[in-house]
Amino acid sequence: MKTLAALVFPGFQTLDFFGPIEMLGDPAYELKITTVAKSHTPVPSRHRQHIVPDTCFADKTDYDLLLIPGGDAALAEGEDAEMLEWIRAVATNAECVMAVCTGTILLGLTGLLDGRRATTNKLDFLQTVHLAPSVEWVKQARWVEDGKYFTSSGVSAGMDMALAALAKLYGNDKAAETAYGTEYIWNNDAGHDPFAKRAGLI
């Protein structure tokens, strides 16, 4: 059974987290999902629900997969050295790393995306990508795959990205069945991104 660390921090975007978890949590994949935070204290989302983490940074860094959600608060978390060190430690050894929306900025601040292609929320694109200038930021993409790193555009795009990661790990047919089982219309074209134009990026 593979293990997946799902990061939470105060102000995390709910759909960034729960959308991919809906896909990744399909019993067909037999993933053991662990919610991880800086401490064991319940963590409020952007919408003020609290989630109780299963474990904290100090407990473990050995996971097969990593999910990093975004949210406006992600940029502040990028100033936390302990947060960045934990992400760096987990991501370095993980088989697959997924970051949603501004969670990609958080991942980019670790240096692990330097020289790699990645994308992030289009509405915040120009205000955030300068924080990780060595990343090859892609302006128009629903999600981007570069090696073991999967990064997505804003919020709902995380579900498409998670399905793409599952397709790579377990096969396209299984990922398609997961989308069907949730009655979700999977946008499996990574380049289909109408929001880039609306945000004035292209």
* Active-site hit among 68, 90, 101, 163: 101
Sign, Cα dihedral of 106, 110, 76, 12 = positive
Query: Alpha-carbon distance 17 to 9, whole Å?
Result: 11
At 32, list the tokens.
């053991």
Query: Alpha-carbon distance 136 to 113, whole Å?
Result: 8
Note if 101 is an active site residue. Answer: yes
Say whether 43 sits in a helix, a strand or coil. strand
Residues 6+ apart with CB under 8 A from 18: none
Q: Tokens 């929320």 sit at which residue? A: 121
8 A C-beta contact, residue 82 and residue 89: no
Residues 6+ apart with CB under 8 A from 98: 20, 65, 66, 67, 68, 150, 151, 152, 158, 161, 162, 165
The strand pairing partners of 12, in sequence order, are: 45
* Residues assigned a catalytic role: 101
